Amino acid sequence: MQEEKTSLKKEILSYLKIIVITVIVVLGCKQFLFAPIKVQGASMYPTYHDKDIIIVSKMSKIERFDQIVFQSPTEDELYIKRVIGLPGDTVEMKDDVLYVNGKAYKEDYVNRQTEDPNQLRITENFTLEQLVKEKKVPEGMYFVLGDNRLKSYDSRHYGLIAKDAIYGEAKATLYPFKHFHMGPK
């Protein structure tokens, strides 16, 4: 009888240790390595849909065209946008063509669908200097745009994003909400 109680206590302690270690590992990973984030809104459509859950890496080196999650400069929310301009870059949009450091880029990820048949451009013409009064993206800053340019609140509106405001890089879609239908079509 005494042996059974001792054995039961050891087994319970063993399970408790496993649970505590698992919680510590999960919380540590979420705090320092990666975290799930829920997409809100349509500013990154078609890359991400409203309510998609994405995995954000907190350890990634930020490169051009990465999708990053960052603290909004205007409200207490996290935003997700695409990095267009890195420190030292010039950025210009002319006739719906993106130019970074004078090189034209084809932006296949941009939503080019519009409800207005008279819509001439998806992205208005601009230079970095017109938007943020800088010829080049300053050190420690980034220029970001949403993929759904007609519905995105981004660096064209609130300026550059500081490196220390970046939460991480979107690496994977964990829960692609777009694949599930609820209710009638």
Active site residue 155: no
Task: Name the active-site residue from 14, 81, 133, 152.
Answer: 81
Residue 67's Cβ-count burial label (10 Å; 0-12, 13-18, 19+) is buried
Task: Name the active-site residue from 30, 43, 94, 171.
Answer: 43
Active site residue 43: yes
Catalytically active residues, by annotation? 43, 81
